[in-house]
Amino acid sequence: MEKDQITAIIESIVENEPRYTVEAYFFISDAVSCAVRKLEVHRHVSARELLEAMRDFAVESFGAVAAEVLRGFGIRSASDVGEIVYILIRAGLLSSSPNDRREDFDIEFDFFPENPDLPPPDGLPVIDQDNK
């Protein structure tokens, strides 16, 4: 499917489901691709595997502001990720296995435990709090 077609589908989804931004759908789709690429053998990923890959992808993409960016997308919980995944599945943009369930995402998952060592996103300066 061409990127223009995917964009049109996602924009249509957002018109009907405005809880999440267009960027949220693209981000989750990219996170799924990233999770699958990291596997030794191509297979479906579990909800937990996807959530962990999404967290890593968010940190790689957005650095220290990853949590704020995801909140800006409307993603605040594992359940939100599940909603987006299953909306993309219903739209034909992702696939699922017979054992996958939307409820698999209804778990407690700490996206970003307090970690002061997260790198800043590319292009942002590092502020040294000790040398003010």
50 CB neighbour count, 10 Å cutoff: 24
Residue with tokens 């995944």: 85
Longest CA–CA span in the chain (Å) reads 56
Give residue-wise pLDDT tens across range 60-97: 999 888 988 999 999 999 999 999 999 999 999 998 88
pTM: 0.80
**End-to-end Cα, the chain, rounded Å:** 52
Q: 């579990």: which residue's tokens? A: 46
Confidence class for position 124, pLDDT limits 50, 70, 90: very low
Please, which pLDDT band fits residue 40 given cuts at 50, 70 and 90? confident
Q: Evaluate if residue 111 carries a pLDDT over 80.
A: no
